[in-house]
Amino acid sequence: MEARKNEKNEARAKGGNKGSQADRPEVISQVERIPNVSGLPKAVKRRVYALKRLQVQSAHIEAKFYEEVHELERKYSGLYQPIFDKRHAVVSGAVEPTDEECEWHSEGEEDELADDLKKKIALEEKKEHTTPADDPKGIPDFWLTIFKHVDMLGDLLQEHDEPVLKHLQDITVKFSEPGQPMSFTLEFHFEPNSYFSNTVLTKMYKMKSEPDSSDPFSFEGPEIVDCEGCKIDWVKGKDVTVKTIKKKQKHKGRGTVRTITKEVPQDSFFNFFNPVKATPDGMDEDLDFTLTADFEIGHFFRERIIPRAVLYFTGEALEDDESFEEEDVEEGEEEDLDEEGEEDDGDFDPTA
Amino acid sequence: MEARKNEKNEARAKGGNKGSQADRPEVISQVERIPNVSGLPKAVKRRVYALKRLQVQSAHIEAKFYEEVHELERKYSGLYQPIFDKRHAVVSGAVEPTDEECEWHSEGEEDELADDLKKKIALEEKKEHTTPADDPKGIPDFWLTIFKHVDMLGDLLQEHDEPVLKHLQDITVKFSEPGQPMSFTLEFHFEPNSYFSNTVLTKMYKMKSEPDSSDPFSFEGPEIVDCEGCKIDWVKGKDVTVKTIKKKQKHKGRGTVRTITKEVPQDSFFNFFNPVKATPDGMDEDLDFTLTADFEIGHFFRERIIPRAVLYFTGEALEDDESFEEEDVEEGEEEDLDEEGEEDDGDFDPTA
């Protein structure tokens, strides 16, 4: 019912789709699809084509507009930073907020309401006092809880990821420098842990703010067109993105049988840092789908989770996100690989 | 499947809805809805409230961001202007574009494609030459055709509006000056005509870019909150927003019967310039609905139709607009008023 558009939600995570099929037929159909152009007197049709040329010029001005908005976002990310730093300090327990900083429910609400809530809270607090009051450091599992609350991430999250994500301390976003190709980089900051030696895992999303010359009218603003992960330096045996499977092998000549272990990939959130590569037109449909989902997630981290983390922790932000459709990342890989494993076992010589 | 957000499509045409029911229950339910807050140790809950206070600060920074984007849009409307002026000149026939300016299909397409199209066009042109080539001025019914193509407007458009809209020469948008309250004004430019003496009809939309103190987390950017039409100076008897109905009246004393004519409102696009007024919370639901639809339409003119008029004329833009849900403006009024007319007739004394 609402034309509910958020200026900051710029990027269309169209990814591999873009350009692949859509454009070329598009152009031809333009003539067919439009009776009131092909039907027009030649002189009038000429003028319509003139307007279409002007429209292409507009699209290029629009692209510049989006570049300036990107600049503006860079500028504002600096203004948000002190707030995000404070958030990180509270989450990690480095800073204990003052009573004033925690005064929540009296703010911006009518008194009777505040009273209502004060009662409510008083009640809860009484409950707590009957139980042994423990005081953990900061806000435990802050980011892991967010991952569990957001379906789009829950789909990626595996049980074996959870102990690793308990060490996730902060997620931040960096925008490309002015003059550089438009991009943003998600940075996942981890406390020292027994899983990998990296302190930061990064995922960079490249954007394009430029009308497609073969279909300039489809331009709707910057688009994520590619992404780049990072190498995770896993501690030996701690890599949650692989599992080891046992295999029997028979020596063709000697006929002796030995069991070897082989590492095969498995589902894990941390595969997010090892994305499939975007390829030009005609890429595999599954990959295209996976990539589009990945772009969705990158966009969602940048636009929703990082700016509003606490609201995803409490759950308050969740109902606002109907506009973001969630998409499962292809989960076929593991099975495929297992089968491959099985096939290997097929090598085992039955004539033995 | 795409997080397809356009930075320019800022305004949420939420209108009367805003604030009415949502907020006050919202605040109470925050505590109930969130087990992992009410369930948390007191010390941790304190920290979560601290983060929520930080989140409110973010919302206010975000509001400033949107004000700057609005500034940017004002700046760019100046950059688009020469293109829009040229468009107007071509549509009105004031300027005849050169052959070069009309070179359409060779642009930005691979040769084979261009060839394809050249054949297509050649064919069409041959067709035309067999028919008597007429050459009207500019692009006749340019804007009226757009009205007919866009469902959202077609719903408003009445048969009696069409002869009037044939005189519509251009639609432009003006943004509020810096420092002024945020707003935009749609300007409908008419050639001299026999219906009204105005040369420009205006519709101003007031926006608000400020988190609601009672529900700061719902802030998603500027919102249209109110609008203002303009007085149309109709030539006597040419006002398409009213119709005259005949009524019989009997003089209670003398018993003589006379027929009088009475003007009653009727559906017309031109009622767009005489909108219902937004009222604070708890306004009539139908009015709320009508107003929301009106805001939708204002937003659509600004964001889609004005910047891309030719694509709505040709129809090329239509399939891109699934994201904009269309909404019929309440059409109950006329009927109601007719009934009222009937009631009046009831005055006629049967005992005569």
ipTM of the complex: 0.75
Q: What is the pLDDT along chain B (352 residues), one digit of tens a residue?
A: 333 333 333 344 433 333 333 333 333 333 334 545 778 898 999 999 999 999 999 999 999 999 999 999 999 999 999 999 999 999 999 999 999 999 887 444 334 444 555 555 555 555 544 444 567 899 999 999 999 999 999 889 999 999 999 999 999 999 998 889 999 999 999 999 999 999 999 999 999 999 998 889 989 899 999 999 999 999 999 999 999 998 888 888 888 888 888 899 999 999 999 988 766 665 677 788 888 899 999 999 999 999 999 999 999 888 655 444 444 434 443 333 333 333 333 333 333 3
> Considering only CA atoms, which of A294, A326, A320 is closest in space to residue A308?
A320
Q: Which amino acid is at B27?
A: V
Short-list A264, A234, A261, A231, CA closest to A246: A261
CB proximity A148 to B under 8 Å: no
Contacts of B217 in chain A (CB under 8 A): 308, 311, 316-317
Which of residues 34 through 73 in chain A touch B, CB cutoff 8 A? 34, 36-38, 41-44, 46-58, 61-62, 64-66, 68-69, 72-73
Of B3, B57, B64, the CB nearest to A324: B3
A11 and B5 within 8 Å at the Cβ level: the answer is yes
Chain A residues within 8 A of B122 when measuring between CB atoms: none
> Is A282 a domain residue?
yes
Specify if B117 maps to a domain.
no
Measure B261 CA to nearest chain A CA, in Å.
Answer: 40
In DSSP notation, A307-326 reads TTHHHHHHSTTGGGGGGS--
Q: What is the pLDDT of residues A212-229, one digit of tens each?
A: 988 899 898 999 999 999
Beta bridge partners of A248: A259
Residue of chain B whose alpha carbon sits nearest to that of A24: B113
Tokens, residue B351: 């005992």
Per-residue confidence (pLDDT) for residue B277, from 0 to 100: 79
Q: Identify the CA nearest to B148 among candidates B169, B160, B162, B136.
A: B162
Domain total in chain A: 1
Interhelix angle B42-92/A42-92, nearest 10 degrees = 170
Q: pLDDT value at position B28? A: 35
pLDDT tens profile A241-298: 999 998 888 888 888 888 888 899 999 999 999 988 766 665 677 788 888 899 999 9
The confidence score (pLDDT) of residue B328 equals 40
**Does B111 fall in a domain?**
no
- Between CA A146 and CA A141 the distance in angstroms is 8
CA angle B189, A37, B122 (to 5 degrees): 140
Q: Which residue of A has its CA nearest to B74?
A: A65
Per DSSP, the three-state class of A68 is helix
Residue B283 confidence (pLDDT): 61
Residue of A nearest to B32 (CA): A120
In the prediction, which pLDDT does B155 show? 87
> Which residue in chain B has the smallest CA separation from A14?
B2
Q: Which amino acid is at B131?
A: T
Structural contact between residues A226 and A183, judged by C-beta atoms closer than 8 angstroms: no
What are the tokens at A184? Answer: 């943003």
Kindly state whether residue A281 falls inside one of the protein's structural domains.
yes
For residue A160, the distance in angstroms to the closest alpha carbon of chain B comes to 22
Note whether B79 contacts A61, CB cutoff 8 Å: yes
Residue B225: CB atoms within 10 A of its CB come to 23
| Nearest chain B CA: its distance from A248 CA (Å) | 44
**What amino acid occupies position A194?**
S
Is the Cβ–Cβ distance between A223 and A18 less than 8 Å? yes
Q: Cα separation of B33 and B52, whole Å?
A: 15
CA distances from B277 to A209, A305, B225, B232, B332 (A): 40, 37, 10, 17, 17
Does the CB of B111 have a partner CB in chain A at under 8 Å? no
* pLDDT, chain A, mean: 78
Q: Domain range holding B160?
A: 44-96+138-237+267-321
Give the residue with greater pLDDT, A11 vs B220.
Answer: B220
For A139, the closest of B47, B117, B139 (CB atoms) is B47
Judge whether A81 lies within some domain. Answer: yes
Pick from A83, A84, A314 the residue to mutate for testing the B interface (most B CBs within 10 Å): A314
Whether residue A28 lies within 8 A of chain B, CB to CB, comes out as yes
Residue A118 binned pLDDT confidence (cut-offs 50, 70, 90)? low
Give chain B positions within 8 Å (CB) of A49.
102-105
Taking CB atoms and an 8 Å cutoff, what residues of chain B touch A308? Answer: 55, 58, 217
Pairwise CA distance, residues A307 & A309, whole Å? 6
How many CA atoms lie less than 13 Å away from B131 in the CB half-sphere?
Answer: 10
B51: nearest CB among A33, A58, A90: A90
* Closest Cα in chain B to A118: B28
Whether A246 maps to a domain, the answer reads no
A314 touches chain B (CB under 8 A): yes
Is residue A13 in a domain?
Answer: no
Give me the pLDDT at residue B139, please.
95
pLDDT of A228: 96
Nearest residue on chain A to B294, alpha-carbon basis? A2
Strand, helix or coil at B22?
coil
Contact A214/B109, CB-based, under 8 Å? yes
What angle do helix axes A23-33 and B111-130 make, rounded to 10 degrees? Answer: 0
The enclosing domain of A85 has a CATH number of 3.30.1120.90
Partner-chain contact B311 A124, CB within 8 Å: no
pTM of the predicted model as reported, rounded to 2 decimal places: 0.75
Which pLDDT score is estimated for A114?
A: 46
CA distance, residue B302 to nearest chain A CA (Å): 12
Give the whole-angstrom CA distance, residue A322 versus residue A304: 12
Integer Cα distance of A176 and A351 in angstroms? 62
Subunit contact A108:B214, Cβ cutoff 8 A: yes
SS3 annotation, B228-249: ECCCCCECCCCCCCEEEEEEEE
Do the Cβ atoms of B310 and A121 come within 8 Å? no
Q: Which pLDDT does position B318 carry in this prediction?
A: 81
Q: Which of B191-221 are b and which e, b meaning 16 or more Cβ less than 10 Å from the residue's Cβ?
A: eebebbebeebebbbbbbbbbbebbbbbbbb
Strand ranges for chain A from DSSP E: 168-175, 183-190, 200-208, 223-228, 242-250, 257-265
Give yes or no for residue A61 having a pLDDT over 60. Answer: yes
Give yes or no for A78 touching B (CB within 8 A): no
Tell me the chain B residues in contact with residue A136 when contact means C-beta distances shorter than 8 Å: 41, 43-44
In this complex, is the C-beta atom of B303 within 8 Å of any C-beta atom belonging to chain A?
yes
CB–CB contact B69 A72 (8 Å): yes
Chain B nearest-CA distance from A99, in A, is: 8
Task: Tell whether B136 is within 8 A of chain A (Cβ).
Answer: yes
Report the residue of B6, B9, B62, B123 to disrupt the A interface, i.e. the one with the largest count of A CBs within 10 Å: B6
Confidence label for A124 from pLDDT (cuts 50, 70 and 90): low
- Shortest CA distance from B303: residue in chain A: A3
Residue B195: predicted pLDDT: 98
B:149-188 residues touching chain A, CB 8 A cutoff: none
Contact with chain A for residue B80, Cβ under 8 A: yes
Is B252 touching A (CB cutoff 8 A)?
A: no
For residues B19 and B280, give the distance between their C-alpha atoms in angstroms, rounded to a whole number: 9
Beta bridge mates, B248: B259
Q: What pLDDT shows up at residue B123?
A: 54
